[in-house]
Amino acid sequence: MSERPVLVETPESVSAMARALEGAERLYLDTEFESNRSGIRICLLQATDGKQVFLVDALKARDLSPLRGPFETSEWVVHAGLQDVDLIRQAIGASSPRSLFDTQVGWALSTAESNVSLAYLKFLMLGVREDKAHQADDWTRRPLSEDQLRYAASDILHLPALFEALEKRAEALSPSRPEMIRLASREATERLTSLPHRLTLESFRNAWQLGPAAQNGLRFLIEWFNGLSREEREDAPEPKALFAIASRMPHSRDVLLQLKGVPRGFALRHHKRIIEGLADAARTANMRDFVAIAPPPYATFEDIRLDAWLALLRAEVCAELRVSPEFVLPARVTKNMRELLAELRGVPVDRPDALTAALAPALEGFRKALLLEKIQAFCEKEPPPL
């Protein structure tokens, strides 16, 4: 690969870059950007097809749409690419790449580590130690110095070799592991997250403190929340804030906006439905239908044993698969698994496949494909303490 980067800062050079990358199977990408209160702006796009490094000055070139063709038909290789992928899509007007391989995800799906830096991976896998002196530079200032351009180029110069090493490592673990990395990379950069387990009255440990009207209001909020789509839940209040809404029973948009933890956008969009629903809940509440709830214990030995069993499952399954527990089974996933298991207490479950079927809703996408079989095998050896 030519180590001398091509600086792209005019419409003509953008078109020339697009022609040079036509038919590229894979593009290795990074960005430098500015982040402030008004948002995030891409300043520099670094790209290579493994033959030539291009440094695209997004502030000078402005229109990067000619790159859309070669970018949409190639696989993208990035590191910790959540921000980069979003910025590149916006800059070139692309929907999504044909395929995506995130080297941070590749490492997490072949070791115990998660969220490692690119510099760390380059050193471990390739023996390359790099100077990070320009990491905190202001990339909006022009002209960019030669040192800055060399630094920007170095971020992607070794990505082809790193990708090849990680793919070989993944293949050695399992022939299907490289595709699992691609699936997980796409999910990670498209912000796909598991839907929270359905809320119930038992999801709120302080529900016992509510009177008839507020308890009825909380029941309305639970039903409303469970009916939201994934997209609608993105700006919905957390359960703690839902409890605060039920406790206060706001009668106007302004009162709703004052409550801690209630996103402003949510309040402006949904205040009418929420306030009407709460008012109806207050009108229909009465002492005759009121269910007094006993305060739940802060801890039980049954819960302690279940938490220990889940911790053991997490460690053993991830160790057998050689994957990072933090990435594959993060706290939000194990929390959903715990809630599903708690619902099975007192219910006879005599087959491991029935148990894993009950746990399956907590696992989505690559996690279901990667983990379900191993979880079932673990349950056969170590049944949960239900």
Tell whether 42 and 107 lie within a shared domain.
Answer: yes
Q: Is 201 a member of any domain? A: no
Reply yes or no on whether the pLDDT at 35 is more than 90.
Answer: no
Q: Of 133, 154, 189, which one is at a domain's C-terminal end?
A: 189
Residue 20 counted as domain residue: yes
**175 shares a domain with 132:** yes
Q: Helix 118-126 to helix 159-173 angle, to the nearest 10 degrees? A: 70
Computed over every residue of the chain, the mean pLDDT equals 92
3-state secondary structure of 28: strand
Boundary residue ending a domain (284, 315, 341)? 284
The mean pLDDT of 130-144, rounded to a whole number, is: 83
What's the residue count for the chain? 386
* Beta carbons of 185 and 102 less than 8 angstroms apart: yes
Please check whether residues 224 and 310 belong to one and the same domain: no
Q: Which CATH number covers residue 42?
A: 3.30.420.10
Domain annotation covers residue 289: no
**109 with 234, same domain?**
no
Please tell me which residue, 349 or 269, carries the higher pLDDT value.
Answer: 269
Mean pLDDT of 212-229: 94
Q: Give tens-digit pLDDT for 233-245.
A: 877 888 999 999 9
pLDDT of residue 292: 84
What does each C-alpha distance from 108 to 79, 97, 116, 185, 232 come to in angstroms?
12, 22, 8, 11, 30
Among 55, 115, 56, smallest CA distance to 80 is for 115
In a domain, residue 196? The reply is: no
pLDDT in tens, 99-124: 999 999 999 999 999 999 999 999 99
Clarify whether residues 26 and 157 are in a common domain. Answer: yes
Find where tokens 């938490």 sit.
307
Task: Choose between 195 and 69: higher pLDDT.
Answer: 69
Do 25 and 90 reside in the same domain of the chain?
yes
At 161-200, the pLDDT tens digits run 999 999 999 999 999 999 999 999 999 887 544 455 688 8
pLDDT at 55: 98
103 vs 349: which has the higher pLDDT: 103
pLDDT of residue 86: 94
pLDDT in tens, 275-286: 999 999 999 988
Higher-confidence position of 248 and 339:
248
- Whole-model pTM: value is 0.84
Q: Is residue 290 part of a domain?
A: no
Does one domain contain both 240 and 324?
no
Residue 209 has pLDDT above 70, yes or no: yes
Least confident of 163-167, 226-230, 305-309: 226-230
> Based on the domain organization, do 85 and 30 belong to the same domain?
yes
Of 353, 359, 356, 363, give the one whose Cα is nearest residue 339: 359
Question: What's the number of domains the chain is made of?
Answer: 3
CATH number at residue 254: 1.10.150.80
Same domain, 217 and 364: no
The whole-number average pLDDT for the span 312-329 is 98
- Same domain? For 143 and 241 the reply is no
pLDDT digit string, tens, across residues 37-65: 778 999 999 999 999 999 999 999 989 99
Residue 294 counted as domain residue: no
Q: Output 287 or 267, whichever has higher pLDDT.
A: 267
Q: What is the pLDDT of residue 234?
A: 75
Exposed, middle or buried: residue 348 (CB in 10 Å: 0-12, 13-18, 19+)? exposed
Residue 150 has pLDDT above 60, yes or no: yes
Rounded Cα distance between 69 and 93, Å, is 10
pLDDT confidence of residue 12? 98
If asked whether residues 253 and 171 sit together in one domain, one would say no
Residue 145 has pLDDT above 80, yes or no: yes
Asked whether residue 118 falls in the same domain as residue 39, the answer is yes
Q: Considering just the CA atoms, what is the radius of gyration of the chain in Å?
A: 26
Q: What is the pLDDT of residue 193?
A: 46
Q: What pLDDT is stored for residue 196 in this prediction? A: 55
Which structural domain range is residue 335 located in? 301-381
Question: What's residue 261's pLDDT?
Answer: 92
Task: Please state the separation of Cα 216 from the chain's center in Å.
Answer: 34
Summarize pLDDT for 152-162 with one digit per residue, the tens: 999 999 999 99
| 199 part of a folded domain | no
- From 227, 203, 185, 219, select the one nearest 85 (Cα to Cα): 185
Residue 194 in any domain: the answer is no
| pLDDT (tens digit per residue) in 121-135 | 999 999 999 877 767
